[in-house]
Amino acid sequence: MLEEFKSKDIPYSRVLSSMCTIPHPIAVKAHVEFINANLGDPAVFRGSAELEKEVVRMIGELLHHPNAKGYIASGGTEANIQAIRAFRNLKRVKKPNVVVPESAHFSFDKAGEILRVEIRKAKLDGEFRVDVGDVERLIDDNTVGIVGIAGTTALGQIDPIEELSELALERDVFLHVDSAFGGFVIPFLDLNVKFDFELEGVSSMTIDPHKMGLATIPAGCILFRDESFLKALAVKTPYLITEKQYSLTGTRPATGVASTYAVMKYLGFEGFRKVVRRCMEVTRYLVERMGELGFEPVIEPIMNIVCFKCEKAFEIRNELYKRGWVVSAIRNPRALRFVVMPHVDFEVIDKFVEEMKNVLRK
Ligand code: PLP
């Protein structure tokens, strides 16, 4: 019966717009080993809790701060909510606001609503990076933090985090970097950009192992510069041996912790570099093949996300979906969007382009 339901899911080999992928086989093994652990009760699941600390250290090391404090969350949404919550709790102002780029993921809208924090949206420049001047304009006495995106959901663009870091220090506000997608990509590209804790103004970061970290779902990660942010999230837990809990969810899995650890140990930074290099080769191939059909990218892809200008993006997306292919469409600018995850290889692109030709002939 389960197989029948599962058979209705679209296979990853036809999904060209997901930020998730087939987990690494070693992640699946590790996941199963930790299937019954509950990190909501770390005094019982002591080994799992110790493993989580080690994974946080390893991810911190990747982001130039092995002493960062945080935990493995359910995903980027929880991580972003927790960052805004910590900022709000640390800077007690009457009507708090946070300035995010217009390109920010919708999880910030959820955070704003839940936390009663006004989410102000800053304009983007011609390259779809946040306009730092507009961020500055939106900051006032009630601003508790600003946000920069390192790997935007739509285009994979990287905001000028260095400038945002300087601005955060100058205006005494926190800076959260959402690298839910880019965190496991940017360190392995030869880009000359600083985007992480190496910048003094960066207070917190989101980085999701269940995206380009090849871990099992759910596995997100929130990291803070120091313990004070976690303390701002703590609530008392009278029924448990441990006294406080700072995660958003109560009962929570250790599966993502174990699978992240396994993949990071198994691949190492060099292994990830190879994965990212391959994704970039396939991304360039997609640009070339779409170019043959007359499509032009909105920006030259920086990471393995690419959008092609297309007035009929939504119609084409719907037609492809009817034919069993999944791509996404964005509104502003109107474009077809692709995320070239490790499951998207040269053969998948060739098959997709053939289908695309049929759709365009229609
Ligand atoms: N932040 C960014 C930049 C994202 O692209 C996403 C998801 O696409 C998220 C946050 C939310 O992550 P999740 O879906 O794991 O909650």
Q: What is the ipTM of this complex?
A: 0.99
Pocket test for ligand 1, best of 107, 119, 330 (most atoms within 8 A of CB): 107
d(CA 165, CA 200): 7
CA of 292 to the centre of ligand 1 (A): 32
Domains and CATH numbers, the chain: 1-20+272-361 (3.90.1150.10), 25-265 (3.40.640.10)
CA of 80 relative to ligand 1 center, distance in Å = 9
Round to the nearest angstrom and report the end-to-end CA distance of the chain. 38
Confidence class of residue 47 from pLDDT cuts 50, 70 and 90? Answer: very high
The predicted structure's pLDDT at residue 2: 98
φ, ψ of residue 115 to 5 degrees: the values are -90, -5
Cβ neighbours of residue 236 under 8 Å, at least 6 residues apart? 243, 244
Ligand 1 centroid distance, CA of 180 (Å) = 6
pLDDT, tens digit, 9 for 90 and up, residues 270-283 = 999 999 999 999 99
Which of 148, 123, 247 has its CA nearest to residue 204? 148
Separation of CA 239 and ligand 1 centre (Å): 33
CA–centroid distance, 44 to ligand 1, in Å, is: 31
Task: Compute the mean pLDDT over every residue in the chain, rounded to the nearest whole number.
Answer: 97
Q: Whose CA is nearest to atom 11 of ligand 1?
A: 76
What is the pLDDT, as a whole number, of residue 323?
Answer: 97
Q: How far is the CA of 362 from the centre of ligand 1 (A)?
A: 34
Atom of ligand 1 nearest to the CA of 77: 16
Looking only at the bridges linking them, the beta strands covering 143-149 and 97-101 are: parallel
The alpha helices in the chain, defined as continuous H runs, are 2-6, 25-33, 46-62, 76-90, 107-115, 132-138, 161-171, 227-231, 255-292, 313-322, 346-361
Q: Is the pLDDT of residue 248 over 90?
A: yes
Q: Which atom of ligand 1 is nearest to the CA of 149?
A: 3
Q: How far is Cα 129 from Cα 147, in angstroms, rounded to an integer?
A: 12
pLDDT computed for residue 187 by the predictor: 98
Determine the atom of ligand 1 nearest the C-alpha atom of 182: 3
pLDDT of residue 127: 97
Q: 73 and 248 in contact (C-beta within 8 Å)?
A: yes
Distances (CA, A) of 216 to 57, 145, 209, 263, 355: 19, 31, 8, 10, 30
- 352, 16 Cβ separation under 8 angstroms: yes
Q: How far apart are CA 46 and CA 43, in angstroms?
A: 5
Write the residue with the smallest CA distance to atom 13 of ligand 1.
76
Q: In angstroms, what is the span from residue 179 Cα to ligand 1's centroid?
A: 9
User: Tokens in use for 16?
Assistant: 């060209």
The predicted pLDDT at position 239 comes to 85
Q: Which of 181, 337, 338, 341 to mutate to test the pocket of ligand 1 (most atoms within 8 A of CB)?
A: 181
- Which atom of ligand 1 lies nearest, measured to the CA of 151? 3
Quick check: 295 pLDDT over 90? yes
Q: Residue 240: which pLDDT band, with cuts at 50, 70 and 90?
A: confident
In the predicted model, is pLDDT for residue 362 greater than 90?
no
Phi-psi region of 128 (alpha: psi -120 to 50; beta: other; left: phi over 0): left
| Whole-number pLDDT of residue 232 | 98
**pLDDT tens sequence across 119-132:** 999 999 999 999 99
Dist. CA 220 → ligand 1 center (Å): 9
Query: What are the tens digits of pLDDT across the range 55-66?
Result: 999 999 999 999
What's the sign of the alpha-carbon dihedral 225, 227, 228, 234? positive
> Facing residues of 221 across strands?
72
Residues lining ligand 1, CB < 6 A?
19, 75-77, 80, 105, 107, 149, 153, 178, 180-181, 208, 220
Q: For 79-102, how does the pLDDT look when each residue is reduced to its tens digit (9 = 90+)?
A: 999 999 999 999 999 999 999 999
Atom of ligand 1 minimally distant from the CA of 220: 15
Distance of CA 220 to the CA centre of its chain: 8
Residue pLDDT, tens place only, 15-45: 999 999 999 999 999 999 999 999 999 999 9
Give the percent of the chain with pLDDT over 70: 100
